[in-house]
A and B are shown apart, each in its own frame.
Chain A
Amino acid sequence: MKVPTYTSKLQRTKTAGGGAMLNASMSLAAAAAPGKAMESVGDQVFNLGYEKYKIQATSEINETMPYFTTEIEGIKEKFKNSHDPVQAEKKVRSEMQKVYKKYLRGKTTNAGGNPFLSSNLARSGFNTKANNLITQGLLNWKKENNKYIVALNKTNHLSEIKKNDNTAGDINLPKPQREIGWENNFKIFPGAKGAVPSMQAVLDGKYSYLSRNNIFSVKEITSQTENSLNNIGLKITNTIIGNQTYSPMSVSEAIYTGEIEKIKAVDPILAKVWEKMEGKQRTEFLKKVRKEEKAFYDDLKVRNEAEDKKNNAADKKTLLEIFNVDVNDENAVNEAKQKFQTLLNKKFFMKLSERNAVQKLLYPDQDDPDQKSDQNKLNELEGHDIDDTLTMEIINKAKPKLTQIDYAKWLKRFKTEKSDAQKYVTKTVINRAFYFDELLQNNAHSKLVTRFNSMRNSAIASLETWLNQNKQKSYTEIVAEGKKIMEPYLERIEKMYKNSFNDNVGNFKESFISREFRQSGKEFTVDNIINFIADKEKPGDAAFKSFRQDFEVYISVPGYKDWGK
């Protein structure tokens, strides 16, 4: 038996079931899109505002810059060519910074009272432009200032050069001072280059210093040296010509010869100038001096002629006034005498007759000016003068035969004779008798000096007393009186010297020096002692020197050779 069974079997799925995978996903970009859109709108709004903002800032900057530039230019101008350029540079920088900050901080306002720069953007833009302006401006200014410093430095040097030129060329200054002025410009000290600048400036002359340190170019040095030489040379020649020290054209003539000694005779610095000059410069210089000389003398001639003409006319008028004087009016006569003297001083009278006429008019009591002295009397007086026997008595006796002028002349000569006689007696007759010059040559014999001086003064006083009582004595008589006064003194002087010698010999004998002298067996005379000392004395030997000076004084005293024998 076969039992039917349900056989149908459905196949189960092996993979299905449990859920399906989802593919849905959210895109990040899509999620962000709305926000991005909003951001974009925001950006557009911002950019719109920013553009306007930029335009306003640019406008403000453009409005501000001219004011700012003007102030900056003003500062540059203010400190340009300052006397202290180094300090000026600092000031320019600080003043520019002040102005810059003033604008940047909104302290500067426009016509509406608002700050020029209202926004950060404006300030930022201004900052960039202003910085450029200041930096560039400062650089340019510094460049100009540096040029100015160099120029100023040159000007200072030129000023010193000019000063030295003036000193060297001023003939009224002492020669050493002028030499220094010359050296200060033209000296060349070979070792100066190695020295520090300050020392170099002292050692070297200006031109050498400026050339070595490249302060002046070669061209400038050459040109300036030429100027200096011309300035010094022309200043010297100008003054010499102006002073009329030499005859007309003699300065240019001396230069023309080219001989240094001749130019030196005119002026030593002028000779140096000439030596320094080159050929062409010399020619030009000579031309200038000649021209200058000619111009001066031409001018002088014209001036003198005019002056002479003027003076002559005035003097003639004065002469006329003198001639018309009222001889009875004493005051008028005195005034006329003064005028006459003035005309005499001016050497107005060309004709002697004219002068004598005036003299006769004003001095009627005086001798006739046309009268001449007696020649025989004049010869007689000359003879007395030669013989030293001229006295007042002789001159007075001759007076009637002499003109007033000759009489006055002989009176003057007599006074001179008397004075000469007094001098001769004092110096030769009295002073020599005391051997005073020898005594004063060393410090020894101070006691003798004192005593002799007293005696000498006494002798001179005696002479003066005698002269006062005998004023009309001749030269010969005065000398004779002098010798007479000295007679008693001479004897005393010799004795005093002898005593002094004896004292000194005593001292010499007591000294250690004399030991050797004694051994020689020689006598203690002046000559022996001096010869002994001369042999033994060594430089710096005080004892020998002292004795030598003591004994040397006795040489030339009469009879000294016999002393000590």
Chain B
Amino acid sequence: MWQLMVAGAGLSFMGSMNSAKAVSAAGKYNQQVANRNAAVATQKGKLREFRAEQDAVKFREAYDGLLGQQTTEYAKGGMMVGTGSALEVAMKSAEEMDDDIATLEYNARAEAGDLRDQAENLRLQGVLARYEAKAQAKAIRMAAFGKFATSMASV
């Protein structure tokens, strides 16, 4: 009789230990996924800033084109470029272009910052998932030891 009880208790113990091990592995996997997602978010942030810089270059190129047309038109009109109203209009256009570039850069940095935060959040979630799995595994092991001890005491 007691042999059967010992075998049963052993099997039960082994099952519990396997459960704990599997839970622990699952936690580890879940953390790895979270870490990978965090890396993606970080990557996305960097990409967003890089694109803002590219947009600023293009914007400037567009402004240069506009300034050439203005100069040409003023020259056609016989106006002195670089003086009087022509200068004021050119200055005004330059100032507005600077404002837009600043806005462009600001937006890109803000979005990149959000993406970095998201990445950090994902990493933390991964850590938590791992911790939760470890804790659950530990609880399963403890319960398994307790049950085994109780079972053995009954023999």
Chain A residues in the interface with B (C-beta under 8 A): 12, 14-15, 17-22, 24-28, 30-50, 52-53, 56, 119-121
B18 contacts the other chain (Cβ, under 8 Å)?
Answer: yes
| 24 residue pairs from A and B, CB less than 8 Å apart | A14-B51, A17-B44, A18-B44, A19-B40, A19-B44, A21-B40, A24-B33, A26-B25, A30-B26, A35-B18, A39-B11, A42-B7, A42-B8, A42-B10, A45-B7, A46-B7, A46-B12, A47-B8, A48-B4, A49-B3, A52-B1, A52-B4, A53-B2, A120-B154
B71 contacts the other chain (Cβ, under 8 Å)?
Answer: no
With A17-B47, A41-B15 in contact, do A46 and B132 touch (Cβ < 8 Å)? no
What CA separation (Å) do A33 and B36 show in the bound complex? 27
Can you list, as one digit per residue, whether each of B24-42 has a CB less than 8 Å from chain A (1) or not (0)?
0111011001001101110
What CA separation (Å) do A321 and B33 show in the bound complex? 153
What CA separation (Å) do A12 and B53 show in the bound complex? 13
Contacting pair B29 A40 (CB below 8 A): no
- Residues on A with C-beta less than 8 A from B13 are 39, 42
A14, A24, A47, A52: most-surrounded residue (chain B CB, <10 A): A14
A432 to chain B, nearest CB (A): 117
Q: Which of A27, A42, A121 contacts B26 (CB 8 A)?
A: A27
With A22-B36, A42-B13 in contact, do A120 and B132 touch (Cβ < 8 Å)? no
With A35-B16, A53-B2 in contact, do A28 and B23 touch (Cβ < 8 Å)? yes
What CA separation (Å) do A121 and B152 show in the bound complex? 11
What CA separation (Å) do A18 and B39 show in the bound complex? 9
Contacting pair B44 A36 (CB below 8 A): no
Contacting pair A28 B133 (CB below 8 A): yes
A14, A32, A40, A47: most-surrounded residue (chain B CB, <10 A): A32
- Residues on B with C-beta less than 8 A from A33 are 19, 22
Contacting pair A45 B43 (CB below 8 A): no
B13, B26, B51, B153: most-surrounded residue (chain A CB, <10 A): B26
What CA separation (Å) do A545 and B17 show in the bound complex? 124
What CA separation (Å) do A42 and B4 show in the bound complex? 10
- Residues on A with C-beta less than 8 A from B26 are 26-28, 30-31
Chain B residues in the interface with A (C-beta under 8 A): 1-23, 25-27, 29-30, 33, 36-37, 39-41, 43-48, 51, 54-55, 129, 132-133, 136, 140, 144, 151, 153-155
Q: Which of A30, A32, A121 contacts B140 (CB 8 A)?
A: A32
Contacting pair A42 B43 (CB below 8 A): no
What CA separation (Å) do A38 and B10 show in the bound complex? 10
Contacting pair A46 B39 (CB below 8 A): no
- Residues on A with C-beta less than 8 A from B25 are 26, 31
- Residues on B with C-beta less than 8 A from A47 are 8
What CA separation (Å) do A39 and B22 show in the bound complex? 14
A307 to chain B, nearest CB (A): 92
What CA separation (Å) do A214 and B49 show in the bound complex? 109
- Residues on A with C-beta less than 8 A from B10 are 42
Contacting pair A50 B11 (CB below 8 A): no
What CA separation (Å) do A24 and B129 show in the bound complex? 13
B153 to chain A, nearest CB (A): 8
With A17-B47, A28-B136, A52-B4 in contact, do A35 and B17 touch (Cβ < 8 Å)? yes
What CA separation (Å) do A56 and B1 show in the bound complex? 9
What CA separation (Å) do A35 and B24 show in the bound complex? 12
Nearest chain B residue, comparing its CB with the CB of A45: B8
A224 to chain B, nearest CB (A): 63
Contacting pair B4 A45 (CB below 8 A): yes
**Nearest 4 interchain pairs by C-beta:** A42-B12, A35-B19, A38-B15, A46-B8
- Residues on B with C-beta less than 8 A from A45 are 4-5, 7-8, 11-12
- Residues on B with C-beta less than 8 A from A17 are 44, 47
What CA separation (Å) do A25 and B33 show in the bound complex? 7
With A46-B8, A49-B8 in contact, do A20 and B40 touch (Cβ < 8 Å)? yes
- Residues on B with C-beta less than 8 A from A44 are 8
What CA separation (Å) do A282 and B33 show in the bound complex? 117
What CA separation (Å) do A48 and B12 show in the bound complex? 13
B8 to chain A, nearest CB (A): 3
- Residues on A with C-beta less than 8 A from B132 are 28
Contacting pair B1 A35 (CB below 8 A): no
B11, B33, B37, B45: most-surrounded residue (chain A CB, <10 A): B11
A38 to chain B, nearest CB (A): 3
- Residues on A with C-beta less than 8 A from B154 are 50, 53, 120-121
Nearest chain A residue, comparing its CB with the CB of B54: A12
- Residues on A with C-beta less than 8 A from B144 are 39
Nearest chain A residue, comparing its CB with the CB of B115: A18
B38 to chain A, nearest CB (A): 10
Nearest chain A residue, comparing its CB with the CB of B125: A25
4 other contacts beyond A18-B46, A22-B33, A22-B36, with CB at 8 A cut-off? A15-B48, A28-B23, A31-B19, A41-B11
Nearest chain A residue, comparing its CB with the CB of B21: A35
With A19-B40, A31-B25 in contact, do A49 and B19 touch (Cβ < 8 Å)? no
B19, B30, B46: most-surrounded residue (chain A CB, <10 A): B19
- Residues on B with C-beta less than 8 A from A34 are 15, 18-19, 22
Contacting pair B16 A39 (CB below 8 A): yes
- Residues on B with C-beta less than 8 A from A19 are 39-40, 43-44
With A19-B44, A35-B22 in contact, do A28 and B37 touch (Cβ < 8 Å)? no
Contacting pair A42 B29 (CB below 8 A): no
A126 to chain B, nearest CB (A): 15
A24, A30, A38, A48: most-surrounded residue (chain B CB, <10 A): A38
What CA separation (Å) do A33 and B1 show in the bound complex? 28
What CA separation (Å) do A343 and B4 show in the bound complex? 111
- Residues on B with C-beta less than 8 A from A56 are 1
Nearest chain B residue, comparing its CB with the CB of A50: B5
Contacting pair B15 A42 (CB below 8 A): yes
- Residues on A with C-beta less than 8 A from B54 are 12
What CA separation (Å) do A45 and B40 show in the bound complex? 50
Contacting pair A49 B17 (CB below 8 A): no
A25 to chain B, nearest CB (A): 5
- Residues on B with C-beta less than 8 A from A39 are 11-16, 19, 144
A242 to chain B, nearest CB (A): 83
A53 to chain B, nearest CB (A): 5
Contacting pair B20 A49 (CB below 8 A): no
B53 to chain A, nearest CB (A): 12
- Residues on A with C-beta less than 8 A from B44 are 15, 17-19
What CA separation (Å) do A55 and B1 show in the bound complex? 10
Q: Which of B5, B29, B41, B133 contacts A49 (CB 8 A)?
A: B5
